[in-house]
Structure 1
Amino acid sequence: MKHDIMGKSCRYWIGVVSASHVSRGVEGGFAQLCHGKAAPLRRMQPGDWLIYYSPKTDMKDGDPLQAFTAIGQVQDDYVYEYRMSETFVPFRRNIRYMECKEAKIRPLLEKLSFTRGVKNWGYSFRFGHFEILEEDFRVIADIMLNREAKYI
């Protein structure tokens, strides 16, 4: 686990969300996970990193994508409700996203500790949100980010 200059630990997370929903989050500067549940958002702390994995382009009828689609850092301690409709009020968390490119997972399967040698590698993604090792984060981030990566 990496520590920042204040000695605080930094953790690394994967969030599983369709690419179209990831785009909305990046545009709005927020994360929304596991169908709007608060618990996964509360597990993350300011300074932690979140990488989105998108199995499909769209939640219901999307095409298969199987790619990491966004990367950002948790900005504060604020987990808040956001009314999307009369019947859906999900929780969100402020994220500062970086410019990045999509990274397909297939070339990385044998490089990531949570997929290496695992026949049913997609199983861990079914949880919707899980912690990864710093080494795994770096493998994915190195592909997604260029040298001049900028926050957006």
Structure 2
Amino acid sequence: MNMRFWVAVASADHVAIGVAQGFMQVCHGKAGPLKRLNAEDWVAYYSPTQTLGGKDKLQAFTAIGQIKLGEPYQVEITPEFKPYRRDVAWSQVGRLPIRPLLPNLSFSKSTPNWGYQLRFGLFEVTRDDLKQIYQGLAVTSSLL
């Protein structure tokens, strides 16, 4: 199976919870997007804000890691909210602003509407895209 590379979208506060507990969650807990991921795929989190629904713009990559073996699983947060998650081995955590990378990332270098894809919550990128994000986070790496 070929390794694939992804960008997921969530507030930095939510990313920090996932990093601390070793999981990822996307699209308000939907299982479908997580089923597209395979063990050993890499995922980078982009955080448009610090808090969910907040006006506190961040626009930075905040974590990167590799998907672990296993399928998406459901957890109960409240009786009404039972999101699906996927286990991840997080390797870099920090703050890497996206704007300096825009001319170099495959999904943004030829379009002024680079943010459009982010609305999907999870999308595939190139190995080179993820490598640039990984290297940038390695420089800014810190605990959230």
Residues 67-106 of structure 1 mapped to structure 2, 5 A cutoff: 67-106=60-99
- Give the distance between the partners of 1:92 and 1:15, measured in 2 at CA: 13
TM-aligned CA deviation for residue 96 of structure 1: 0.5
TM-score scaled by structure 1?
0.88
Structure 2 partner of 1:23: 16
Match of 1:38 among 22, 31, 37: 31
CA change 1:85–1:21 in 2 (3 A) is same
- Give the distance between the partners of 2:52 and 2:2, measured in 1 at CA: 33
Structure 1 partner of 2:111: 118
Question: Radius of gyration: which is bigger?
Answer: 1
- Give the distance between the partners of 1:22 and 1:59, measured in 2 at CA: 10
TM-aligned CA deviation for residue 11 of structure 1: 0.4
Q: Could you tell me which runs of 5 or more consecutive residues in structure 2 were left unpaired when the two chains were aligned.
A: none
Q: Deviations over 1:33-76 (max 9, x none)?
A: 00000011110000000100000001122400000000010011
TM-score scaled by structure 2?
0.93
Q: Which amino acid aligns with 2:109?
A: R
Q: Could you tell me which runs of 5 or more consecutive residues in structure 1 were left unpaired when the two chains were aligned.
A: 1-7
How many residue pairs were aligned?
Answer: 140
Please provide the CA RMSD for this pair: 1.2
- Give the distance between the partners of 2:50 and 2:3, measured in 1 at CA: 30
- 2:92/2:134 contact within 8 Å kept: no
